[in-house]
A and B are shown apart, each in its own frame.
Chain A
Amino acid sequence: MSDSRRRLRVRYSREGRLAYLGQLELIRTIERCVRRSRLPFSVSKGFSPHMRIAYSQALPVGTTSAAEYFDLVLEGPVELPEALASLVSSMPGDIAPDAVGYVALKEPSLASWLTRARWQVDISSEGSIAGLLAALERVAAAPTLSYERAGRPRTISLSTTLASSEVLRTSELEARLELVTRSGDFAGLRPQALVAAAAREAATEVFLRTRRCAQWHDEAGAPLDPLDPSLLLAPAVTGL
């Protein structure tokens, strides 16, 4: 099959209430947005035809993001500014595409290629923040993190998944953390799980606002952005 098809890479932010969508809900939502956008999306053949689209790794429920991605296969080229504009106009306000570019059809899938993420966690605590941060330091220094999720015990290797953890600022009742995590073919770390473990240890109740600030591919220590010019067939179009 000769190929006029194009793989459109889209970066978008996810804000506010839409942080509470689960991954399946997000997928359903974005596919409906794409249909509304009237872009010439490609549909797979076969028994149960579906849109050719792939996403970056699931965002934990309750988390906002400045940099999520999806790759959408189009049947033919569309001018990038037009593609961006029609996506923006078909999305609910809290899912906001802000950059698009064409990558090669054969690029590896986003979910496995994106191996680093930077997170910002705003914590407000009912108890002492200092106590919580001390507990967090102990929890983060351990080689593994064990907790229960949906009634099942889980253990995450922190030495594999947690690249760095830093307190950016702190006051009596609030603190802001920055974490960098690694992901790959191993169980990933949710920042919420880390802070929740510290809250348990400090015996305090916390309320978190978590944000994924960036995602990138790590090429032997050098970061590579999903919209890096070296991956694109033409310069990306950003912003509106």
Chain B
Amino acid sequence: MRPERRSRYEELERLLGRVERPSRYVDHEWGAAHDEASDFRVCLMYPDTYEVGQSNLGLAILYSVLNEQDGMACERSYLPWVDLADLMREKGLPLLSLESSFPVASFDVLGFSIAHELVGTNILEALDLAGIALRGDERDEDDPIVIGGGPSVYNPEPLAPVFDAILLGDGEEAIVEMARAVRDGRRAGLPRREIVSGLASVDGVYVPSSYRIAVDAGTTRWGRAVPVEGAGAPAVVRKRVLAALSATPAVPRQVVPYSEVVFDRLAIEVLRGCARGCRFCQAGMTYRPVRERPEGQVVSAALEALGQTGYDEVSLTSLSTTDHSACAHMLTSLNRSLEGTGTSVSIPSQRLDSFGVEMAAACHSGGKRSGLTFAPEAGTQRLRDVINKNVTEDDLMGAAARAFGNGWRRMKLYFMIGLPTETDEDVLAIPQLAERVVGLGRELVPKPQRSAVSVSVSVAVFVPKSWTPFQWEGQLPLGEVRRRQGLLLRACRDRSIRVSYHDPEASQVEAVLSRIGREGFGLVEAAWRGGCRFDAWTERFSYPAWRDAARSVGIDLDEVASAPYDRASDLPWDHVSPGISKGFLEREAIRAQRGATTPDCTRTSCTGCGVCQELDVANDLAGERR
């Protein structure tokens, strides 16, 4: 039964003196929306702590647009850290929204951001804490409609039983349509299952309960999702896409946090999508086409929002900000307008060439040169060609030279191991490349500062993702990952080079959840029942617990992560499409094997990924790219 809509803050407050970082739970931030009158209520949840989720741009946009609707209120919720969650269970206090402190289960719609593959146990933890059944088919008539969306929806199957509906793609229009559909259905007194199946009529929405899983000779062992007869659901759901960013506000309603959050600054989305075509990158495939926000809109919105929020930093965010056709000019005019205010401009990552460094330098005029981050991803040109990372060693050296010349001393280089076709030679090339960068730094940096030159090398493990040219690949087995990590570590002698690794075990679980079908829900549920939550937190992740969970449901993690899929098979995610054609991904997979690169369609001509035709959209650039 739906709990009463009343504030439970007083009960919560009694627990705040006993938990770490109580400011996570207090709300009342500058800009938070308070509307306790509207009777249709949506709660948006980022299933991690406040400081991880608060700055999420996607949820901020949805929060903004929903609160602009007449008669609708939208609130936020985050997952309480384990100390508070345990206390709440002990005291019988359910999960609450932040603004009104109403029980989350009293809302009409509960929307989760599906940020990455390891977030599943947190979603179950949140539902359980809220007192909402974990599975859609076990919910009561008046329970909230539970929806999801965000970056990690292109293999939704392991979480499909949880969600009444999942939105693929851009949410700013679709969320309003979904909320209206639920509201109208409730008003008309429709039964829950009709409201849920009706959500499929919103463009971009996948309703898992309208599909069953069929396993046959033409599928992998996880089968394919096919519409249930009579459900009226399409065989393939295509993502929702916004034609142009310029038609949306550059800055959504801002909630300025008290506590330090992970991106503690004003963020402006300057472009959406990336067409560079790195073959391992899921976002690069699923966020197409490329849409730039016009420079004038960025600059005026930044100045206005800085004044309203009081932030002392503005970040121009996107998948590849330095690719924006007006990047240089935009930075110059922002810097000029902000001079003398102690306000800085930042861009999240640097393009690997001297233009990238020029832009980074423009961000830090007069400020500290803390460190510069580049992502060559692979050590040899051969392997960089395989993954279509279109940068050469000359680009990297040119960028490094420019960075050392501009006052930087520390550099961070991101690599992956376990990429398709990787050999020991490729692995050993990683420390060699780092050594050349350090060597260059020692040549270019004046003598007294020479000892400050350092390079940190961060090595992730390749995880094959759906809807990428590498979606058929298996992950390197754990033992082999460890052997190659050892190889790399032993080859690294220079004390100015520090090497750090991602945990290969967490990467394996990530691979399993990226590749498995609907049966994967049993694994996630068993892991959560076994005590897993906050799996993305290194100190909380427990591989033994996941192993036990896998064993209990008859799944072999090693096998699921590393078994390749046949290119002729239907895949567990073929029914949720970001618009990319499977033929293009296959061609790219073949070109990868040959080491043939594919250019960026925002700089050359169409490369045939199919997104523009399939979704009837086009790249929308503000000018010519350089």
Contacts and interface: CB of A to CB of B under 8 A. Distances in A.
Interface in B2-38: 9, 13-14, 16-17, 21-23, 25-30
Interface string A21-53: 110111011011111101000010001111100
Interface stretch (A12-20, A134-142, A223-231): A12-20
16 contacts: A18-B26, A21-B23, A21-B258, A21-B259, A24-B260, A25-B258, A25-B259, A26-B258, A32-B311, A33-B310, A35-B306, A35-B307, A35-B311, A43-B342, A61-B22, A62-B16
A147 interface: no
Contact of B309 (A32, A92, A94): A32
Interface in A201-231: 207-208
Contact of B23 (A16, A20, A34): A20
A90 interface: yes
A35 B307 CA distance: 7
Ranked 6 nearest A-B pairs via Cβ: A32-B310, A35-B310, A17-B26, A36-B310, A20-B22, A43-B342
Contacts of A51: 342
B23 A22 contact: yes
Given A25-B260, A32-B310, A50-B342, 7 more contacts: A17-B27, A20-B23, A28-B260, A28-B264, A35-B306, A49-B342, A62-B22
A33 B259 CA distance: 14
B28 A17 contact: yes
Interface of A: 16-18, 20-22, 24-26, 28-29, 31-36, 38, 43, 47-51, 61-62, 90, 92-94, 207-208
Contacts of B26: 17-18, 20-21
Contacts of B435: none
A34 B341 CA distance: 12
A17 B17 CA distance: 12
A62 to B, nearest CB: 5
A64 to B, nearest CB: 12
Contacts of A36: 30, 307-310
Interface string B243-280: 00000000000001011100010000000000000000
Interface in B279-307: 306-307
A63 to B, nearest CB: 10
B310 A18 contact: no
A17 B310 CA distance: 21
A16 B260 CA distance: 20
B187 interface: no
Majority secondary structure of chain B interface residues (helix, strand, loop or mixed): loop
Nearest to A48: B368
B340 interface: yes
Contacts of A22: 21, 23, 259
Given A31-B310, A32-B256, A92-B28, A20 B14 contact: no
Interface centre among B259, B341, B368 (most CB of A within 10 A): B259
A35 B312 contact: yes
A47 B370 CA distance: 11
A207 B22 contact: no
A43 B311 CA distance: 14
Interface centre among B9, B23, B260 (most CB of A within 10 A): B23
Nearest to B340: A43
A62 B21 CA distance: 11
Nearest to A210: B17
Nearest to B27: A17
A33 B311 CA distance: 9
B367 interface: yes
A47 B256 contact: no
Given A36-B309, A38-B307, A47-B367, A20 B342 contact: no
Contact of B368 (A21, A47, A208): A47
B12 to A, nearest CB: 10
A16 B311 contact: no
Contacts of B17: 62, 207-208
Contacts of A17: 9, 13, 26-28
B371 to A, nearest CB: 15
A199 B14 CA distance: 16
Contacts of B264: 28
A185 B23 CA distance: 28
A17 to B, nearest CB: 4
Contacts of B9: 17
Interface in B292-351: 306-312, 340-342
A19 to B, nearest CB: 9
Given A32-B311, A38-B307, A49-B342, A94 B256 contact: no
B260 to A, nearest CB: 7
Given A17-B27, A38-B307, A92-B28, A28 B258 contact: yes
Nearest to B16: A20
A77 B17 CA distance: 42
Given A32-B256, A32-B309, A25 B14 contact: no
A37 B256 CA distance: 15
B293 to A, nearest CB: 24
Contact of A92 (B30, B259, B312): B30
A49 B339 CA distance: 12
Contact of B312 (A31, A33, A90, A208): A31
A36 B17 CA distance: 31
Contacts of A35: 306-307, 310-312
